[in-house]
Amino acid sequence: MTRTRLLAISIGLLLYTMPANAGFLSAQLSVNGLTCPFCAFGIEKKLLEVPGVREVEVFLDEGRIALTFERGTEATVKQLEEAVRKAGFELAGLSIETSGEIKRAGEGDVRLVAHPGMVFRLTEMVDRREQPVSAETLRRIQKTRASNGESLVVRGAVSERDSREPLLVIRESEPVPGPGN
């Protein structure tokens, strides 16, 4: 059964074609060589020009930037990357918190669908081997959700494979309060 989830997806690699619309809630960007306030305030300026970006916070010494989005934004990851490039930098890393759906796509195969055109296959590490997430893990996730209302945070890493679909490897999951809580 398809259920709406709140998913925090740590993305190790920049996914240029991934649409960031509708479900984007917040993001963490990392940029190398960000040391001066002229650049920090500049990158803030460029990111605020991306439609849907509501707030930008630059952590200068960490080279990290936190973004929050308006609900229903039409921004894309490519726009974020372009904004960073216009500020004179290259995006080194990106993590995104978004809303999405978890679907059972087949036997032992669970897919995270954050948005149409944004498809991940959930996998987990067992004995240092990556494999599709087990039914037990899925039950645990669903159980956690069921006991904590509307939302669930799943943290993982997305890596590109030979497939067109980036893979999300679940590392941990935790409940978060739902919108009404």
Partner 1 sequence: MRIWIPVRTGSVIGGLVVVIALSAACSPRTLPGSELFAVWGISGSGPGELSQPIGIAIGTDGSVFVADAGNHRVQVFDSDGGFLRTIGDRGKELGFFRRPMDLDIDSQGRLYVAEHGGDRVQVFTHEGEFLREVRGDGSVAGGFDAAAGVLVSPSGELYVADFYNNRVVVFEMDGVFSRVIGTPGRVFPGRLHYPTDLDWVDGRLVVADAYNNRIQLFTPAGEAVARWGGLLGLGIPGSGRGSFRVATGVAVDSPNRIYVADFENHRIQVFSSDGRLLSIFGSQGDGPGEFERPTDLDIGPDGRIFVVDYGNDRIQVFEPLPDSLR
Chain centre distance of CA 146 = 22
Separation between Cα atoms, residue 63 and residue 74, nearest integer Å:
26
DSSP of 62-88? GTEEEEEE-TT---BHHHHHHHHHHTT
Residue type, 115: H
Q: Which of 38, 136, 163, 181 binds partner 1 (CB under 8 A)?
A: 38
Region of 34-42, 64-72, 100-108, 164-172 interacting with partner 1 (CB under 8 A) = 34-42
Separation between Cα atoms, residue 111 and residue 72, nearest integer Å:
23
**Nearby residues of 26 by Cβ (< 8 Å), 6 or more positions away:** 66, 67, 68, 69, 96, 97
Regarding 42 and contact with partner 1 (CB under 8 A), the answer is: yes
Q: Which of 36, 125, 126, 135 binds partner 1 (CB under 8 A)?
A: 36
Regarding 41 and contact with partner 1 (CB under 8 A), the answer is: yes
79-138 residues in contact with partner 1 (CB under 8 A) are 86-88
Regarding 33 and contact with partner 1 (CB under 8 A), the answer is: no
Kindly state the smallest distance separating residue 45's Cβ from partner 1, in Å: 5
- How many residues bind to partner 1 according to rule CB under 8 A? 12
Q: Which positions lie near partner 1, rule CB under 8 A?
A: 35-38, 41-42, 44-45, 48, 86-88
